[in-house]
Structure 1
Amino acid sequence: MTQSVPLISTIASGLGLALVLGYVATRAKLPSLVGYLVAGVLIGPFTPGFVADTAIAGELAEIGVMLLMFGVGLHFSLDDLLQVRKIAVPGAILQIVVATAMGAGLAWWWGWGLAGSVVFGLALSVASTVVLLRTLETHGTLDSLNGRIAVGWLIVEDLAMVLVLVLLPALAAVLGGEAGPAGPTSMWPTLGWTLVKVSAFIALMMVVGRRVMPKLLWLVARTGSRELFTLSVVAAALSIAYAATTLFGVSFALGAFFAGMVMRESEFSHRAAEESLPLREAFAVLFFVSVGMLFDPMVLVQQPLQVLAVVGVIVLGKSWVAAMLVLALRYPLNTALTVAASLAQIGEFSFILAGLGVSLKLLPAEGQSLILAGALISIAINPLVFAAMKPLQSWWTARSPLARHLERPADPLAELPPATPGKYLSGQVVLVGYGRVGRRIAAELTSHDIPFVVVEQHRDTVEGLRVAGQAAVSGDAADPAVLIQGHIAQAAMLVVATPDTLDVRQMMATARALNPGIQIVVRTHNEEEAALLAEEGSGTIFFGEAELARGMGRHVLTQFGKASSDATMA
C-alpha cells in the first residue's frame, strides 16, 4: 500500500518519526534537528526496515529550502545586503578559496586526482544557509548586525556556487571527467552568459518586482480573504523560484530569496512572514530528514579517520579562516566568532555539487559519502558550536589581553576624532542605532539644532555620517567603552533606537553609573519587556504598538472635536 502512495508515506513517516526523535533529542538537551537527521537515517535506504522515497523526499526538501530562503528575503532587504558588502563579499570569496585549498589538499593527500580534489574542496567550502537561518532564529540574532553579516556572507557563497555549478560541466573534459552538454571549449561564453542571466534576473526583481509585488499583495489583501493572501504569498515564493531556475539558471533558493526581498517592500511583509511560517517550519523538518536519508552510517565504520578529517576542515579549518578574515577587516571578536560558528557546517549546495561531481566522473563515490558524513555531523553539532561561542568569548577575554584587544580593535571609527566640536561633547544626545527609527530621530534633532552623537555597529554607516560632518562612533553600545567614546558622562540624554532589547539593560547601567542624572529613552517591540522596563524605572519606554494606537487615537478624537487623554490610550 505504501508503494502506491509514496508521497503520503514519505511525508507521514518523515514528519512522524521526526516528531518522536526531535522530542527525545530536546529532552536529552540536544538540538531538535539532531532528532530530525536521525529520523532520516532510519527511513533511508542504508538502514533496515521501511525505506521512504528518496526522490520525493529530495523534492520536498527543495521546497523547504525555497520557503526558508523566501523567509530570509522577507527579513533581509537589499539595503541590509549592501551595508555588509565590504565584509561579506571579500570575506566570502577569500574564505571559499582558502577552504577549497584545505579540502583539496586533504583529498590530494589521500591520492585523489586534481579534479576530484578541487570538487571535494569546493563542497566543503560552502555552508548551508538553511541551517544558519534555523540557528540564528533560535538564538534570536537573525536581525542583529552579526546575523546580517553571516547571512550576507552565505548569500555571496551561494552566488559563487551558482557559477561553479554552471561552469563545472563545461570544464569537466578539461579536468579529466566526462564532458558536459556545453563542451570544454565553451567555458568563457558559458560564464559570460551565466553572468548576463543572473544579472538580468536580479535587475528584473529589483526594478520590476519591487513595484509589482507590493501592488499584487495589496490587491489580494483588499479581498479580505485570508486564504487568498496565504496562497498569494506561497505562490509568489515558489513560482518566482521556479521561474528563476527555468528562465535564468538561478538556483531555487536564490530565486526564492529575491522573491522575499521584493515582497519586503510591501506594507504586508510582516503578515506574509507570519502566514508562511508554518509551511517553512514543516518543510524545514523535511529538509533535515532528507539529509539523513542520504547518509550511509557504514562510512563511520569503514573510514573513521577520513570522516574525522573532513569534520575538522568544516568545523575548525574554514571557521578559523573566516574568523581571521573578519578580524583582518577590523571587525570585533564577537563578530568573528559569530561568522566562524555560522560557517562550521555544510549543506544543500555541497550535496548538489557532490552529486554533479560524481555524475561527471570528477569526484569518486567515496567523496560523496564523506561529504554527506561531514554534513550530517557538522549540522548536528552546529547549534552546540553556536551555544559555545559566547562562553568561549567571555572565558578568553577574561584571561587574554590579546582577546580584549581583538574585542575592541584599534579602529579610528571607534572613537570621536580629536577635533570634534565641543557641542558634541557636553549636553548632547547619545543616539544608539541609526536604522529607520534612528534616522527619523536624527532628522528631528538636526532640524531643531540639538547636538547628538550616533553610536552604530555598521562601520559603513559611521563612515558616511562622518563624511557628512556628523559625530558618530562605531561599536556595540552594550560595551561601556563605546558609550564612553560617545561622552555619555557629559550627555543630557541616551536614546536607544534599536529594536534589540537584549543588551539595553547593560547600556542603561553604564549610562547611570557614569551619569546618574541622565535621561534615558528606550524603544521596544515587546509588550512584556516594555512593562518590565517600566516597572524597573529604567526611563521613558516607547512600545511600538502603544505609540501607534496613541497616535491613531489622537487623530480620531481630533476629528470628533474631543481632547485626547494619553492615560486613557496608554
Structure 2
Amino acid sequence: MDHHVPLIATVAGGLGLALLLGFMAARLRLPALVGYLLAGVVVGPHTPGFVADANLASQLAEIGVMLLMFGVGLHFSLGDLLAVRRIAVPGAIVQIAVATAMGAGLASAWGWTPAAAVLFGLSLSVASTVVLLRALESVGLLETFNGRAAVGWLVVEDLAMVLALVLLPPLAAMWQGQGQGGVAPSLWRGLAVTLLQVALFIGLMLIVGRRLFPWALWQVQKVGSRELFTLCVIAAAVSMAYAATRVFGVSFALGAFFAGMVLRESEFSHRAAQESLPLRDAFAVLFFVSVGMLFDPAVLTGQPLRLLAVTAVILVGKSLAAAVVVLALRYPLNTALVISASLAQIGEFSFILVNLGAALHVVPSEAQSLVVAGAILSMALNPLVFRAIEPLQRWLLARSQLARELNARHDPLAALPLSTDEKFLARQVVLVGYGRVGRAIAQALREAGLPFVVAEENRDLVERLRADGVPAVAGDAAQPEVLVQAHIARARLLVIATPDSLGVRQMAHNARLLNPAIEVVVRSHNAAEAALLEQELSGKVFLGEQELARAMTRHVLERCSHA
C-alpha cells in the first residue's frame, strides 16, 4: 500500500503541532498565533526533522486567506467606521505613510531596490485585526470608544491593504519593466484595465450580490439543514474569491472580502459568521503555519541588528506616530495610548503582502523572514504592551504636567454650553455612554420629562447630541473633570451604560467624592463581576442575561394568565 500522502501529512503535521504550540503559547498568556507561526517554523524546510509539502501548504494557505478576508468582510460595518471616521481615517492614513517611510528607509539603507523598500515598509505599517480584537476583549475595551476607534483605524488599514493587493501585480510589472523603451505606457494601460476590472467587480457585488446572496441564504435556511447553511456560506466565500480571480483578475483576498461584506447585508449575517467560524479558524491556522514555514531561523544569528530595527519600527516607531496623530486631533492621552498599543504588532496582511511581493520577485526572500520574525516578536509582546497602558498613564499623570494637560486639554465639547438652563441641572441624571443601551435609557428619560446629561468619549456623537438639543460633554467619565462638567455634584443618579468594566470603579469613586449621596447604576455581562460591583459600589448592577430572563418570564406569565 502506498502511504505517500503529502496532503494528509501536511494537514496532520501542521494542525497537530499548531495545537501543541498554540496551547503552550496560550498558557504563557501569549496570542495563540505565536504558537501557530512557530509550528510552521518547526515543519518548514529551514529546520531539521519532518518537512511539510510547501506547495500544498501554500494552496491551503490561500484558502485560509480567503476565509480570513471573508471574516473581515462579515464584520466590516460602514456605519461603525463612519462613527469614528474623524480619528480613524486621517490617523490610519498618516500612520501608514510614516511607518512605510520608516520601513522603506531601513530597506534602502540595506541596499534594496526602491520597489522592495516601499513594499517592505508597507508590510510593517499594518497591524493584525485578529490580534487586536483578542487583545481588546481580554482587557474589556472592545465596546468602548477607544476600542471602537482602534478597530475603525484597523479597518481603514485593511481597506488600504486590499487596495495595495489589487495594485501590486500591475505595479510590479511596471517596476520590472522600467528602463525598457515603450514599456511604461502599455503598463499604465494595464493598470487602468486592472482598476476598471476591480470597479466592475465591486459594482457587480454591491448591486447583484447584495440581493442574490441574502436571497440564497434565505432559501437554504428554509430547508432547515444546518449543514447546508454552513455549506452555502463557505461556498459563497470560496467560489466568489475564485470567480473574482478567474473572471475579473482580482485577488482571492478582495473577492472573499466583498463576499463577506455583501453577506453582512443579510439578516443571517450573524449566523453566517458563527457557522463559518470553525472552518475559518482551521484554515486560518494553516495559513499561519504556512507563513511560519517561510521563516529562516538563520536571520536571528545572521541579521540580528536588522531584526532589532524591524521590531523597533513595529513596537515603537509606528506606535509613536499614531500617538502623535491622535493627540494632534485633540483626543485625550488615554485614547492615544490605547491606539498606540493596538498598532504595536503586525499580522496577516503583512504576510499576504510580503508573500505576494516575493512571488512577484519584488522583495528578496530575506524580507519574508524579517517580517515573520517581527510578527512573532510583536505578537508575543503585544499583550504586555496592553497591560502597561494603565500603569503608564498613572505614571505619566503623576510626573508630567504636559501629560496632565494633554489628558485634560481644553476642548469646546468638554464643557456644557453656557446656554444650558441651571434649573435643568438640578437633580439631573448623568448618563455615561450613548450606545444602544444608553440611547434606550435616554429615550425613556426624555419621554418621562426627566433631565439628563450625557458623558460620551465620541466627540462626533457629542456634536450630534448638542445639535439635537441634548446636553452632552465629551471625555472619559473616569476622569473627575468630565464628571464636574456634567454637574455630578447636583445629580441624583449616575447611570453607567458603557461596557467599560475597567473604568466603572473609577467613575463611581470619583462621583462619590464629588457627590456622596449619589446613587450609582451599572450594567454588566458577567454574573461574578456583577456581584463584586454591587458589593463594592453599593449601587444597583443590572446583569444583561438576568434582565432578559425576567422580561421573558413576565411576558410568558402574562400570556398564560390571559389564556
Larger deviation: 20-29 or 467-476?
A: 20-29
Aligned residue identity for 1:305: L
User: Equivalents in 1 of 2:435, 2:72: separation in Å?
Assistant: 19
Deviation string for 1:513-562 (max 9, x for gaps)?
Answer: 32232233322233333344445563333332333333333333333436
In structure 2, distance between residues paired with 1:480 and 1:470:
21
Indicate conservation of the 8 Å contact 1:462/1:472, yes or no.
yes
Gap runs ≥5 in structure 2: none
Task: Look up the match of 2:37.
Answer: 37
TM-score by length of 2: 0.87
C-alpha deviation, 1:133, in angstroms: 3.1
Question: Which residue identity lines up with residue 171 of structure 2 in the other structure?
Answer: L
For the pair 1:200 / 2:184, whether they are aligned, the reply is no
Offset of 1:238 from its aligned partner? 4.3
Q: What is the Cα deviation at residue 176 of structure 1?
A: 4.3
Query: Does 1:425 find its partner at 2:425?
Result: yes
Deviation at 1:63, TM superposition (A): 4.0
Q: Which residue is 1:318 aligned to?
A: 318
> Deviations for 1:424-475, whole angstroms, at most 9, x for unmatched residues?
4221111111112222222222223222111112111111111222111112
C-alpha distance in structure 2 between counterparts of 1:262 and 1:45, whole Å: 40
Amino acid in structure 2 at the alignment position of 1:441? I
Q: Match of 1:523, as an amino acid?
A: R
Which aligned pairs between 1:223-234 and structure 2 lie closer than 5 A?
224-234=224-234
Alpha-carbon distance in structure 1 between the residues aligned to 2:467 and 2:73: 31
CA shift in 2, pair 1:531/1:271, >3 Å: farther
Mapped to 1, the partners of 2:28 and 2:76 lie a distance apart of: 34
Distance apart, 1:297 and its partner CA:
0.8
Letter in structure 2 aligned against 1:10: T
Structure 1 residue identity aligned to 2:400: S
Contact 1:241 1:255 in 2 (8 A): yes
Query: 1:109 deviation in Å?
Result: 2.0
In structure 2, how many angstroms separate the alpha carbons of the residues matched to 1:3 and 1:121?
Answer: 44
**1:50-449 equivalences in 2 (<5 Å):** 50-68=50-68, 70-71=70-71, 77-172=77-172, 174-177=174-177, 183-186=186-189, 189-190=192-193, 192-193=195-196, 196-197=199-200, 199-200=202-203, 203-204=206-207, 208=211, 213=214, 224-239=224-239, 241-242=241-242, 252-253=252-253, 256=256, 271-449=271-449
Corresponding letter in the other structure for 2:94:
L
Normalised by the size of structure 1, how large is the TM-score? 0.86
Question: Contact 2:95/2:318 (CA < 8 Å) preserved in 1?
Answer: yes
**How far apart in 2 are the matches of 1:354 and 1:537?**
51
Q: CA deviation at 1:302?
A: 1.9
Task: Output the amino acid matched with 1:461.
Answer: L
Q: 1:367 to 1:37 in 2, by over 3 A?
A: closer
Q: Could you tell me whether the CA contact under 8 Å between 2:171 and 2:191 is conserved in 1?
A: no
**Over residues 378-414 of structure 1, what are the superposed CA-to-partner deviations in whole Å (9 max), with x where a residue is unaligned?**
3333333333333322322222222222233322212
| 2:420 aligned counterpart, secondary structure | coil
Instruction: Indicate how the Cα distance of structure 1 residues 348 and 530 shifts in structure 2: closer, same or farther if over 3 A, else same.
Output: closer
Deviation of residue 79 (structure 1)? 1.6
Deviation at 1:286, TM superposition (A): 3.0
Hey, what does 1:518 align to over in structure 2?
518
In structure 2, what is the Cα distance between the partners aligned to 1:17 and 1:528? 35
Supply the distance in 2 between the matched residues of 1:182 and 1:386 (Cα, whole angstroms): 49
Supply the distance in 1 between the matched residues of 2:439 and 2:248 (Cα, whole angstroms). Answer: 37
Number of the residue aligned with 1:558: 558
Residue 174 of structure 1 deviates from its aligned partner by: 4.5
Q: Which amino acid aligns with 1:349?
A: F
Residues 167 and 187, structure 1, Cα contact 8 Å, conserved in 2: no
Q: Secondary structure at the match of 2:143?
A: coil
Deviates more, 1:531-540 or 1:96-105: 531-540
Q: Matches of 1:342 and 1:292 in 2, distance apart?
A: 23
Is this contact kept in 2: 1:240–1:259, CA < 8 A? yes
Contact 1:431–1:494 at 8 Å: present in 2 too?
yes
CA contact (8 A) 1:292 1:376 kept: no
Distance, in Å, in 1 between the alignment partners of 2:268 and 2:151 is 23
Structure 1, gaps ≥5 residues long? 564-570
**TM-aligned CA distance change 1:62 to 1:377, over 3 Å:** farther
The alpha carbon displacement at 1:24 in A equals 3.6
What do you get for the CA RMSD once the two structures are aligned? 3.4
CA deviation string 1:236-279 (max 9, x = no partner): 55455555555666655565555555555666655555444444
- Tell me the amino acid that sits aligned with residue 7 of structure 1: L
Q: Distance in 2 between matches of 1:322 and 1:459?
A: 18
The corresponding residue for 1:6 is 6
Q: 2:316–2:344: 8 Å Cα contact kept in structure 1?
A: yes
Secondary structure at 2:437's aligned position in 1? Answer: helix
Q: Is the 8 A contact 1:454 1:472 kept in 2?
A: yes
Letter in 1 for 2:485: Q
Please give the secondary structure, in 2, of the residue aligned with 1:503.
Answer: helix
Per-residue deviation, 1:51: 0.7
For residues 471-527 of structure 1, give each alpha carbon's deviation from its aligned partner in whole angstroms, at most 9, with x where no partner exists: 111122222322222111111222222234333232222223322322333222333
Closer/same/farther in 2, CA of residues 335 and 202 from structure 1, 3 Å limit: farther
Once the two structures are superposed, residues 83-107 of structure 1 have per-residue CA deviations (whole angstroms, 9 ceiling, x without a partner) of 1112111111111222222222222
Structure 2 contact 217–229 (Cα < 8 Å) conserved? yes
* Alpha-carbon distance in 1 for matches of 2:255, 2:500: 29
Identity of aligned residues (%): 64
Of 6-15 and 80-89, more deviation after overlay is shown by: 6-15
Letter in 2 for 1:310: V
Q: In the alignment, which residue of structure 2 is the partner of 1:566?
A: none
**Equivalent residues in 2 for 1:520-539, closer than 5 Å:** 520-536=520-536, 538-539=538-539
User: CA distance change for structure 1 residues 21 and 181 in 2, over 3 Å: closer, same or farther?
Assistant: farther
The answer as to whether partners of 1:172 and 1:184 remain within 8 angstroms in 2 is no
Letter in 1 for 2:334: N
8 Å contact kept, 2:525–2:543: yes
Q: Tell me if the contact between 2:43 and 2:52 (Cα under 8 Å) persists in the aligned partners.
A: yes
Q: Distance in 1 between matches of 2:297 and 2:475?
A: 46
Q: Secondary structure at the match of 2:51?
A: coil
Greater shift after overlay, 410-419 or 136-145?
Answer: 136-145
- Asked if the contact 1:415–1:474 (Cα under 8 Å) also holds between the matched residues in 2, the reply is yes
Q: Residue 502 of structure 2: SS of its match in structure 1?
A: coil
Q: How many residues align?
A: 560
Equivalence for 2:482: 482
- Cα separation, 1, equivalents of 2:401 and 2:120: 38
- Aligned letter for 1:95? Q
Code of the residue aligned with 2:86 in structure 1: it is K
Distance 2:2 2:530 in 1: 53
Change (3 A) 1:338 1:535: closer
Instruction: Evaluate the alpha carbon distance shift between residue 535 and residue 367 of structure 1 in structure 2; reply closer, same or farther with a 3 A threshold.
Output: closer
* Match in the other structure for 1:541: 541
Asked if the contact 2:198–2:248 (Cα under 8 Å) also holds between the matched residues in 1, the reply is: no
Q: For structure 1, which segment, 392-401 or 449-458, has the greater mean C-alpha deviation from structure 2 after superposition?
A: 392-401
Partner residue in 2 for 1:567? none
Letter aligned with residue 319 of structure 1: S
In the alignment, structure 1 residue 491 sits paired with structure 2 residue 491: yes
